[in-house]
Every structure is written in structure tokens, then in C-alpha cells.
Amino acid sequence: MSNLININIMKNYKITNLKSKVVHYMNESEKEQFFTKNSLGNYKSEDVNDLIKTRYNKNIHDMAFSVFTLGVFTIILFLMCNTFSFIDSLIF
């Protein structure tokens, strides 16, 4: 027999007060208790895992854009140098 362990992973949330910009970090049960006491209208709730994934994807996108831009400018530089050497060979 294999022992199966059922792990209940709690999601973490970032709760932001829209008026005062105060930030609270809570798990699911704390969030449920918090919103039974407070109205949902004044607060914004975001999943922390989604925020981390979004930040990671943005960093990868920015790095890919930087590498692409560096490649384009390197190619343009080599083409310009090649053009100048061709013009010099015509003149002299």
C-alpha cells in the first residue's frame, strides 16, 4: 500500500486598500475572514503566484527585446563599416 499524502496548498493573496494604498498579504482563510468583516468595494485582491509569474514573464520579455535590439544594431554597424570600406576602395 502506498500512503498518499493530501497536501492542501493554500493560495496567498495581496489585498490592497484602494483608498489608502495599504497592502496586506493573506492566505485563503484569512482572506475569507477579512472580507466577511470588510466590503469588497474598497479593496483589490490579487493572487501572489500570478503576480510572480507576470513579473517573471515581463523580465524575460525585456531581456529578449534587449538581445534583439543589440543584434539589430550590431548588424547595422557591420553593414555601415562594410559600406565605408567599399566607398574607400572606389575612391583610392
The rounded distance, in Å, linking the Cα atoms of 74 and 39 is 56
* Mean pLDDT computed over 65-89: 84
pLDDT at 1: 46
SS3 category, 2: coil
pTM (two decimals) = 0.54
Question: Which residues neighbour 31 within 8 Å (Cβ) at sequence distance 6 or greater?
Answer: 13, 15, 45
pLDDT at 70: 95
pLDDT band at 22 (very low <50, low <70, confident <90, very high): very high
Model confidence at 65, pLDDT cuts 50, 70, 90, reads: very high
pLDDT digits (tens, 9 = 90+) for 23-55: 999 988 888 888 888 776 788 888 888 888 888
Q: In the 8-state DSSP scheme, what is residue 24?
A: E
d(Cα 21, Cα 34) in Å, to the nearest integer?
Answer: 16
Mean pLDDT confidence for 9-17? 86
Show the cell assigned to 53. Answer: 509569474
Band of pLDDT at residue 73, cut at 50, 70 and 90: very high
